[in-house]
Amino acid sequence: MPKIKSITCQKILNSRGDWTIETKVTLDDGSEGSQAIPDGASKGENEAVYIPVDKAVDIVSTAINDVLEGEDPTEQIVLDKILLDMDGTTNKKHLGGNSILSVSLAAAKASAKSKGLELYEYLARLYTPKKDPSAELQFPVPIFNIINGGLHSHNNLSFQEFMAIPSPSLPFDKALEMGVKVYHNLKEILIKDGLDVDVGDEGGFAPNNLTTAKALQYISKAASQSYKLGEQIFMGMDVAAGSFYMHDAYLIKEEKKTLNSEKMSQMYVDLLTTYPLIYLEDPFYESDADAWAKFTKSVGSRLMVVGDDLVVTNPKFLKSAIDRKLANAVIVKPNQVGTLTETFEFVRNAQQAGMKIIVSHRSGETGEDTFIADLAIAVGADFIKSGAPVRGERVVKYNRLLQIFNAQKN
């Protein structure tokens, strides 16, 4: 079995011009794996702690390198346990979730190369050891964030993401083509109406002077120009409601509304009757549990009620959400929890509870990182979020999935 020879770390820039870390794990057989760590603008209160970059570089290159040198990188559970024991905190504030995750994922990449496997193949074997390696791959449905608001832009929209979602019945390549077409349709419509086509952090357009309804109208128009709305293509929103929850109310500034939980729920129900919405992420503040439970019970049979800040890819918070029936779908972001092992545990528990799985990027990504594409394939995710079909750090994930799709097809 290969052994870890060295672990090095450097700071690099992400897509927002902020510093992050990139860690390289080198094995004694010459195999290498590198992993950069994304960062989110909109964060759940219970995410793993992201420590300062310079401190993370030092910790990875010295303390973690010294402890893991000589360890077997293919023993992922053992490796991650060593890292967790080194940290010794529930939120990884000692070593940092960014430090720990960079090593955890880089070790998996190095191990895949050592075994001569594609990363998704190696991850799939870790996730489901007894799965038939010749089984047909399940490709996630891409969710395209084509209008940005909230903390992902500098416009007036309170809601963070407005999305076009191809029908799950379509093959991946056709779904990707659909997202590209709708994106360009939307651009032409916005220009015709004299609106800005500047983009937000995730590549979606971020014009000013929109409301929630107006944003949905624009996407509806762009989609229906080329496809059957409600049959071939659907819509969704990431509300990120915690970002505008203040003093026990939701403050929607562009509409000058202050709503309690019941009125927020009614607003969503009204939108459901008008638009083919199948996806609603973080519709309430993460601690507004009663609102989550009532809403999911009311509309969960016809809508994905998606927990992100609610569960932060953490098995502990997922258990509470399952027990209280707060959501029926969950976001998976490895950097929210900090290790590959914990990410796998989270996905496995959610799948066993019958929840839909959405593997997701963050708003601050790097141009080379495609890990979540391979992860989505490996765990059989239902959907993937990687932003609009533009900007290198977003497109690279879609292109990786397309590469795997074409290889599988051929």
Asked whether residue 124 is domain-assigned, the answer is no
Query: Is 301 within any annotated ligand binding site?
Result: no
Written as one string, the DSSP assignment of 351-399 is HHTT-EEEEE--SB--TT--HHHHHHHHHT-SEEE--SS-SHHHHHHHH
Rounded to whole angstroms, how far apart are CA atoms 74 and 57?
Answer: 23
CATH code, 110:
3.30.390.10
Query: Is 282 within any annotated ligand binding site?
Result: no
Residues 150 and 186 in one domain: yes
Rounded average pLDDT over 96-112:
98
Find the domain containing 54 and state its range.
4-116
Query: Is 333 within any annotated ligand binding site?
Result: yes
Residues 281 and 157 in one domain: yes
Q: Tell me, yes or no, if 297 is annotated catalytic.
A: no
The catalytically annotated residue of 22, 47, 202, 393 is 202
Rounded to whole angstroms, how far apart are CA atoms 406 and 410?
Answer: 6
Residues 46 and 152 in one domain: no
Residues 109 and 154 in one domain: no
Q: pLDDT exceeding 90 applies to what percent of the chain?
A: 89
CATH code, 385:
3.20.20.120
Rounded to whole angstroms, how far apart are CA atoms 53 and 21?
Answer: 6
Residues 178 and 111 in one domain: no
pLDDT at 151: 77
Asked whether residue 133 is domain-assigned, the answer is no
Asked whether residue 136 is domain-assigned, the answer is no
Residues 238 and 205 in one domain: yes
Q: Tell me, yes or no, if 333 is annotated catalytic.
A: yes
Rounded to whole angstroms, how far apart are CA atoms 53 and 402?
Answer: 33
Q: Which of 65, 100, 116 is the C-terminal boundary of a domain?
A: 116
Number of domains in the chain: 2
Is pLDDT of 44 > 80? no
pLDDT in tens, 350-367: 999 999 999 999 888 998
Residues 165 and 84 in one domain: no
Query: Is 217 within any annotated ligand binding site?
Result: no
The catalytically annotated residue of 5, 109, 333, 356 is 333
Cβ–Cβ under 8 Å, residues 161 and 235: no
Q: pLDDT exceeding 70 applies to what percent of the chain?
A: 99
pLDDT at 41: 66
Residues 45 and 162 in one domain: no
Is pLDDT of 45 > 90? no
pLDDT in tens, 226-235: 999 999 999 9
Asked whether residue 187 is domain-assigned, the answer is yes
Asked whether residue 132 is domain-assigned, the answer is no
Residues 151 and 102 in one domain: no
